[in-house]
Structure 1
Amino acid sequence: MQRPARFFSFNKPSDWEAGSSANLTVREDGVTVSRTEKYSLYRIVHAADIDGADAVADFAVGPGSKLYVLDARASLWVHDYENRHSEPLYSPGHRLFSHRALLASRGDALYIADPVGERRVFSVSPSNGQLLWAAQEWNGLELFPLATAADAGRNLYTVVPLDCEVGPLGHPEVPQGGRIVILQWSPSGEVTQLYEHDSLRLEQPCAVHALRGRFYVTAAEPGSPVLLDAATGTTIAFRPDGAARAAFGLAPEAGKPAGLSTGGGGVLYIGDSSPGNARDERFILQYTMQGELTAKVSGYRERADKLLHDDRGRMYVLDAEQGAIALLELQSRVNASAETGLPEGWYWSGELDSAEDETEWHKIELLADIPEETQLRVSYFATDETFGVLGGRVVDYSDYFADPDVPNERKWRESAHLWSEPIVNPKDALLPNAKGRYLRLRIEWVGSDRTAPTIRRMRVFFPRQSPIVHLPSIYQEDPDGTRFLERFLALFGSFLAEMEEKIDKVSSNFDADAVAGRYLSWLGGWLALDVADGWEEHKLRTLLKRAPELYKLRGTRQGLARMLHLYTGVEPYIVEHHQLKTMQETSELRLMFQRLYGDDPYTFCVMLPPECVRTDKQRLMVERIIEDQKPAYAEGKLVVLQPWMHADMHTYLGINTVLSEPTLLTLDEQSSMPHHTVLIDVDRDKRIDIHTRLELDSELE
C-alpha cells in the first residue's frame, strides 16, 4: 500500500522568502523578474510635421502637448503634437529675434534669449505673442545669453559672460579669466540672484559667438540651477543662496556632452552630440546630484543637442543634425540583471526536508504565466547530507546558496555537477533520480525586454507515487520498462489527482466569501433573482449571505426596504395608500395627493435620492428589485427625489428640503441683500412655486 502523498507549497511571499533570490520581485500574486521604468521612444516631431516650418533650430515645452518651435527662418510655431495642429506665433520677417535665439518655457510663460537681437532677454505671452518685459543689459553690462532654462516657479535662468570686451576685430569677446555666471530673473523681469563658481572662468580669451553650445543650464527646483560646461565636462549644482551644492566631472562614457535636464527626484540627464557614425557608443547618461553615474538611457541612441522634461516626466530631445524632436516616455520594462545585463532572475530554494533518508521525490507542479519568448528553467538535486565540497572547500549548502557575497554565476559554476538538467517551462514534471532527504531547487526566469514569466504557485510532491503499483507484478520486473511505464502512467496520475483535488474543494464553490467575478454572479443566479449581473461584488456577496433572511420577508414592506438599502446604500422612503387615506378626505388636498401618489389602494411609491439612480442601468435595477419584492397584487412606482423645492411636488422637509435661520445674501465684499427680499420674474410676481429650484436658481440656508 502506497503512503499518502505530501507536498511543499510555495504559495505566499513567506514561502519564497525561505530561499534566496536575485533580481526577483515577490508579491502576493506571484514571483517574477523585477521591473523598472525606462525611457522609450514615444514620438518624433519633424519640421515637416509643422506646416510651413523650416529646419528646427530650438524648442521649448509648453502646457499639455504643446511645443514652441523656432525654425531656421526665425519663425516661432506653437505645435500640438497630439492633435497634429500648428499655428505661427511669429511669422517670418518679424525682426523681433534671430534664428540664434534660445527658448525656455514653464506654464503660461515663454522666454526668449537672443545674443544678437535688439532685445537680449524678454518674455512674451504664448497666447498672442504680446511682449511682457525685455532687458538689453544688466548693471550696465550688455547681455550675451549663452543658455537658458525656466523652473516651476516661472523663474528664468540665463548663462551670460560677466566680463566682456571688444576684441581686435570689433566683436565682443571674453578675456582670459573672464567669468561665466547664471542670472536668475523673476517672472516680472527682475534679476533676483547671481550664481558663480571659480571653475567657471575661461582659461584663454574666447569670442562670445564661439561660446554658443558650450554651456547648458537646467533648474532642479526653484532657485537651484545646475550648469554644465561641455568643454571641460564640469557640472555644478547651486543652492538658492548662490553657493555651490556640488561640482563634479563627467564619466568617460559622456562622449561629447550636450544638453542638460532634470527629471523627477532631482536626477540629472546629460546628452551626447557625437557625430552620427558614433551611434553605438552614444547614450543619454543619468547622474545623481552628487555626480554618480547611475544609468544609461538605452531607448534613445541618436544625437542629443538639447534635453527638456515636462511635468509628466516625459523627456524631449533635440537632434539638431536631423532637425527632429524626439519624445521619450517612461514605460515599465523588465529589469536587467546586474551580473549579466540580461532580463533574467534566479531563485535558490532552502532545503526541503522530507524527514526521511533516501526519500524518492515525485514531481513538481507549477501554476505559471509564461509569455512567448520567455522561459522558466528548473534544476534540482537531492542528498542526504547538508554539507558538501564546492570550490575546493567544505561548505554548508544552506549557508552557501544563501550567501549574498557569493555571485550567482560563481554559485552556478561551482555547484554545476550537483544539479540536474534544467526542466524548461514545466507545469507538471517528474523529478527523476531525485533521491535523498533534502531537495534543493534552482529556478531561472528568462524574460524579454517587456515581459517575463510569473510563478503564481509551486508544489513539490514526495514520496514517489506511481499507478504502476496497481498493475500486475510482471509490469514491474523489467527496470528499463518500469521507468518508461512510470513516466507514461504519471500523466494519468496527474489527471486523476487534479480531479480528486477539485472534488475535495468543490464545497468552496458555494461559499460567497471564497468566490469572485463570474463565479459570484453564477452563485447569485441560484437566488432566482434576475439581478445578479447588475450588483457590485461586495453587495452581491452580502446579498448571498442574507438571502435566507430576505426570502422570509419577500413581499413585505420590510423586505423591499432591506433589499433596496442593500443595493443603494440608503434607506428608501415607501409611501402606501393607507398612510394618506385620512389626508385625502380633505377636498383641498385630494387632487394633489392623487397626482403625487395615485388613488389606487394597491399602489405604493418608493422614493430615493438622485445619487442612488444616476444611470439608466441603476434605475432599471431598482425597478426590477421593486417588481421582484412587491406583493403579487400590488404595483410599485419609483420616484426619484430632486434637490429643489417646488410646491405641490415631491418636496419633503428634512429629506430633500432644508429650512434654516434667515441670513443675508452676500453679493460681494461691499454688497448684501436682506432675507426678506423677493426675486421675481416679469409676469410671475410673488409665485414661489414657479421658477424656484433649490441649488439651481435659489438656495435655503
Structure 2
Amino acid sequence: MQDPYQFFSFNKRLDWDKGSYYNLRMVNGALAIHQTEKYAVHKVIRSAQINGPDVMMDFTVGQGGKLFVLDEEAAIWSYDAENHHTELLFGRNHQLFTGHALLASRGDTLFVADPVSERRVAAYSISNSQLLWAVENWKNSPIYPLAVAADLQKRLYTVVPLDMIIGLNGKEEVPEGGRIGILQWDAAGEVVGVYQHDSLRLNERTEAEQLQRRYYAAVSEVGKVHLFDAHRRLLTAFEDDGALHAQFSLALAGSYAGLSIDTNNNMYIGDSRFVGEDEEDERFILKFGAQGDFQARVSGFRGRTNKLLTNSRNQMYVLNGETAEITLLELQKRTLELEESSLPEGIYLSSALDTTVSETQWHRFQLEAVIPEETQVRISYLASDRKELMIDGDFVDLSSYLNNSSIALKDKLRSTRDLWSEPIVNPRDALLMNAQGRYLWFKLEVMGSERQSPLLHKLRVYFPRKSLISYLPPIYQEMQDDSRFLERFLSMFGTFFQDMEEKIDRISKYFDPDAVHGHYLEWLGTWLAVSEDESWGEDKLRQLIKQAPELYKLRGTRQGLSRMLQIYTGSEPYIIEYFQMKQMQERSELRELLSRLYGDNPYVFCVMLPQECVQTDKQRLIVESIINDQKPAFTEGKLTLLQPWMYIDMHTYMGINTFLSEPTLLTLDQRSSMPYNTVLIDLERDKRMDIHTRLGLDSELE
C-alpha cells in the first residue's frame, strides 16, 4: 500500500471563499455560474388551433390555464391548450354584448364589460353561461368601461370616466378636466371602492369612444391596483385602500399597450407599434420594478402587444392582434454572461495553497463535477517557492493581487496570462506536470451554455508527487524523457490504487443510513428484503433501517406489525383480533354482522387503515406484503381501508372516519358524493308559487 497523500480540499463554501469569484455562486453546496430566470416562449396558440374565431378581439385566462377568446362577432370560445379542446361558451347573435367587449375572469366567473351594449358590466357563470349580475348605471349615470381586471377575491375592477355628459351629437363625452377612475365591484355586483387621482383628469373634452384601448388595468396579488394610460404613457398604482402608491411616466418614446403584474410586483408593459414588412421587429415587452424603475426588456418575445396577462405561476399571456395569436411565456433559467467577455462563463482565482515545504512536487487535481453537454471546465495552475512574483514590472504578493477587488478582472487576466500553465479541460483526474514549489495557485474557467452551467461539487489538489516508479529499479527512475513517460503512465495505476484504498478506508460510511442516499440507501434496504422497486421513499426507508434490530425482535407480534405499518403509511393502524369480539359474536343479532365485517375464523385478524394512507394499487400491494411478512405463523391478515363517510352496518367508527358536527353547506369534492335521491334547492326561492312551496315546511295555509 502506498503512503497516504496529503491534499487541499474545496468542498464547502468556506473553502471557496478564500479565493475570488467572478460570475460564480454557490448552489446547494456546488460552485456554478450565476443564472437567472427569463421569459421564453413556451407555446403559441393561433386562431386556427382554436378552430373558432378568425379574429381575436380579446381574451382572458381561467382556471387551469383555460383560455376564453372573444371574436369580432361577439362569440366567446373556451379553449383548453393542454388537451386542445374547444367549446363555444357564447354563440353568435346572442345580443348580450358585442365584439368590442372586454373580458376578465377569476375562478368560475367570467366578467364582460362592453361600452356599447345595454349591459355595460356583467358577470356570467363559466359552467353554464348563466347571468350572475349585470349593471348599466352607477350613481344615475351610464357606465362606460375602458378596461377591466379581476383579483383573487373575485372582485372586478373597471376603468371608467367618472364624469360623463351627452354631447350635441348625442354621443357620450368626457368634459375637459373630467376624471378617469377605477370602480371596484364585489361578487354581488355592488360598487365597494373607487380609485381616483387628480393627475388622471383629461386635459380636453373627449368623446368616450376615443378613449377605448387607451387604458389598461391590473391587480397585484397583494391588492395594489394599477392603471396605465397608454396615450400619456403614465402608470399609476393605488394601495388597496385607494391611496396613491406610486406614479411614473415611461421615458421611452413609442406606442404601448397591455399591463400585467407578476407575483414579485414587477410590472410589464408591451410595445404596440406598427412595424412595416421590411422593418426589423424590435418590439419587446418592458419590465419595471415596483417603484417604476426600468429593469429590462423581455427578449424572449418580439411582436405587437395588444393585451398582457400574468397568472399566479408567473406565466405571461400575450395577445398579438396582428397575427391573431396568443403567446404563452414561461420563466426559464438563463446563464448570465461575464461582463468582461460577454460570454456565459465564470472565473475563479484561488489564494496560495501552502505546503510549508520548499520545492514540493505537486501531484494531481481531482474534480467532482457535473458537466453537461456544451459546457466545459478548464483549470490552469502556477507553482512557486515565493509568494511574491513579477507582475507588470513589480514584485507583488500574488494572493493579495488576485483577491484585490479594486483591480478589474480583465487586468488580472492580462497581467498573469504568461504565468499560468496550459489549461486542463474537464480535469476529472489530471496529473500536474512541472508544478514544483511551496505555493500553488490555480485558475478555474467555468464555461456554460445559454441554459446550463457546470456544477463543481469538490476539488482536491494532492501533494507531494508519489509514483509507482519508486518501486522499480533505479535505472527506471533516472530523469530522462523515457522515465517521465513511464512515470505518467504509471500514475494512472497509482490513481486507481489510491482511489480504491480511500474507498476501503471510508467503507463504513456506506453502512450508515443517515450518511447515504439514493442507490446506496436502496442497497441497504435490500438487506432487509425491501426490493428497489418498492415505493418506500428515502425518509421511510431510512427510518425502517434504523429501527430494524428492534423490529425484528417484534416480528410476528401485534406490536411489530403495527410499528411496521406506521413507518410505511405514517398512520397507526387499527388491528381487530378474533378474541376482541368473541363475546359479541355469541349474541345472535350481531353474529352475522361481525362475521361479515371481521370474519368468524379465529386465525384471521383485521387491519384497518385510513383510505388516504393507501392511495394507489402499488401501495396497497406493499401494505399487504408487510402484513403477510409480519403476521404470526398460521394466521391470515385482512386489510380494510376506511372510507371517509358513514354507512350503517359497514366499517363506520365514530371519531375515526365518522364525526358528528353542526350542519354546514354542502361541498362536493373528491372525498364527497351525492346520493341519487338528493334534491338541491335554493332557500331564497322558498314560499314562491310553482317553485318551492312545501306545506308545513316553508308555507302554511291560513
Question: TM-score range with shorter-chain normalisation?
Answer: 0.7 to 0.9
Residue equivalent to 2:64: 64
Task: Return the offset for 1:262.
Answer: 0.6
Which residue does the alignment assign to 1:637? 636
Greater shift, 310-319 or 560-569, is seen at 560-569
User: Secondary structure at 1:56's aligned position in 2?
Assistant: coil
Q: Does the aligned pair in 2 maintain the 1:152–1:222 contact within 8 Å?
A: no
The one-letter amino acid paired with 1:295 is A
Instruction: Report the secondary structure of 1:635's partner residue.
Output: coil
Name 1:445's counterpart in structure 2. 446
In structure 2, stretches of 5+ residues that fail to align are 666-702
- Residues 155 and 222 in structure 1, CA contact (< 8 A), matched pair in contact too: no
* Distance in 1 of aligned mates of 2:323 and 2:463: 65
State the match for 1:263 in structure 2: 262
Identity of aligned residues (%): 46
Give matches, 1:454-493, under 5 Å. Answer: 454-477=455-478, 479-493=480-494
Q: Deviations over 1:461-499 (max 9, x none)?
A: 112223333344444445444443333332232222223
Q: Deviations over 1:298-319 (max 9, x none)?
A: 2222222110112332211100
The question of whether the paired residues in 2 share the 8 Å contact of 1:7 and 1:462 is answered with: yes
Query: Aligned in 2, Cα 1:89/1:24: closer, same or farther, shift over 3 Å?
Result: same
Matched position secondary structure for 1:321: coil
Q: Which residue of 2 aligns with 1:104?
A: 104
| 1:468-617 equivalent positions in 2, closer than 5 A | 468-477=469-478, 479-523=480-524, 525=526, 534=534, 537=538, 604=603, 607-611=606-610, 614=614, 615-617=619-621
1:435 corresponds in structure 2 to 436
Question: Are the structure 2 counterparts of residues 244 and 423 from structure 1 closer, same or farther at C-alpha, using a change threshold of 3 Å?
Answer: same
- Three-state SS of the structure 2 residue aligned to 1:502 is helix
Q: Give the CA deviation at 1:232.
A: 3.0
Cα offset, 1:101, TM superposition? 1.8
Residue 681 of structure 2 is matched in structure 1 by none
| Residues 169 and 642 (structure 1), Cα distance of their counterparts in 2 relative to 1, 3 Å cut | closer
Specify every segment of 5 or more residues in structure 1 that has no aligned partner in the other structure, as ranges.
Answer: 670-701
Change (3 A) 1:300 1:636: same
Q: Secondary structure at the match of 2:498?
A: helix
Q: Who is 1:273 aligned against?
A: 272
Superposed CA offset, 1:111-142 (max 9, x none): 22223333333333333333444444444544
Q: Report the residue type matching 1:493 in the other structure.
A: G
Tell me: CA distance 1:556–1:112, structure 2 relative to 1, closer, same or farther (3 Å): closer
Q: Distance in 1 between matches of 2:460 and 2:560?
A: 48
SS in structure 2 at match of 1:311? coil
> What letter is aligned with 1:118?
E
How far the C-alpha of 1:172 sits from its partner, in A, is: 5.0
State yes or no: 1:234 paired with 2:234.
yes
Q: What amino acid maps onto 1:149 in structure 2?
A: A
Deviations 1:136-185 (A, max 9, x none): 44445444333222222333333334455667876555565544333333
User: CA offset at residue 321 of structure 1?
Assistant: 0.5
Alignment of 1:325-474 (within 5 A): 325-337=326-338, 342-388=343-389, 390=391, 396-474=397-475
- Who is 1:618 aligned against? 622
Structure 1 pair 408/202, CA: closer, same or farther in 2 (3 Å)? farther
Instruction: State whether residues 575 and 608 of structure 2, in contact with CA within 8 Å, keep that contact through their aligned partners in structure 1.
Output: no
* Residues 223, 432 of structure 1: alpha-carbon distance in 2 compared, 3 angstrom cutoff: closer
The Cα shift of 1:48 comes to 1.5
Match of 1:36 in 2: 36
The answer to whether the Cα contact below 8 Å between 2:111 and 2:124 also exists between their aligned partners in 1 is: yes
- Give the match for residue 698 of structure 1: none
Q: Give the length in aligned residue pairs.
A: 649
- Relative distance call for 1:207 and 1:521 in structure 2 (3 A) is closer
Distance 1:150 1:383, change over 3 A: same
The residue identity in structure 1 corresponding to 2:31 is: V
For the residue of structure 2 that corresponds to 1:15, the secondary structure is helix
Instruction: Check 1:500–1:209 CA distance in 2 against 1; reply closer, same or farther (3 A cut).
Output: same
Worse overlay, 608-617 or 481-490:
608-617
Corresponding letter in the other structure for 1:621: S
Equivalent position amino acid for 1:310 in 2: N
Gap change, CA 1:563 and 1:606, over 3 Å in 2: farther
Bigger radius of gyration among the two: 1
Q: 1:491 to 1:530 in 2, by over 3 A?
A: closer
Change (3 A) 1:133 1:379: same
CA–CA distance in 1 between the matches of 2:147 and 2:90? 21
Rounded Cα–Cα distance in structure 2 between residues aligned with 1:221 and 1:28: 30
Farther off after superposition, 228-237 or 269-278: 269-278
Q: How many angstroms apart in 2 are the aligned matches of 1:391 and 1:168?
A: 83
